[in-house]
Amino acid sequence: MILFIMILLISLITMKCIRLYHEHPMTYEQLLRKGLVMELLFMENRAVDVYERGLRELDLTVDEENNVHYLVGMIQQKYHKQSKQAVAHFEEVFKKEPEYLAYRKEYQHILDAYESSNREELPHIAKMLKKQSQHDHRFLKLKYPE
């Protein structure tokens, strides 16, 4: 009897997940909710798919679009260790900054420092960059690659 209940519960959860991921028109709030649920269920690839589909299909404000790009970048960085793809999403946000070209130069310097260093130096570089960038509001949301 317990086995039957467990199988029923697992199939019910699976059906809910499949229905949740099913493609249909959604709002910004539904997009965030779906992405969060997928991430909580350790389905990060699906969460990224949901967010990227939202970027393509929804008519988002600039702030909403920036938030989704940040979410995708952080997921790719945290779970997939895909720094290049995460950087591409972060750059989409930074392109909307009024001082993008000046910032791009600073940001590229940070990325070059990470790519050229060995792994033992990364925590030290991250601390140094965070300390140097505390005065700059553009760095506040940036998560440094690890």
pLDDT category of residue 146 using cuts at 50, 70 and 90? very low
Average pLDDT over residues 113-124: 64
What are 138-144's contacts with CB under 8 Å, separation 24+?
Answer: 138/94, 138/97, 138/99, 138/103, 141/70, 142/90, 143/73, 143/74, 143/77, 143/78, 144/110, 144/114
Distance CA 124, CA 63 (A): 32
Query: pLDDT per residue over 86-114, tens digit each?
Result: 677 677 766 666 555 566 666 666 666 66
**Full-prediction pTM beyond 0.75?**
no
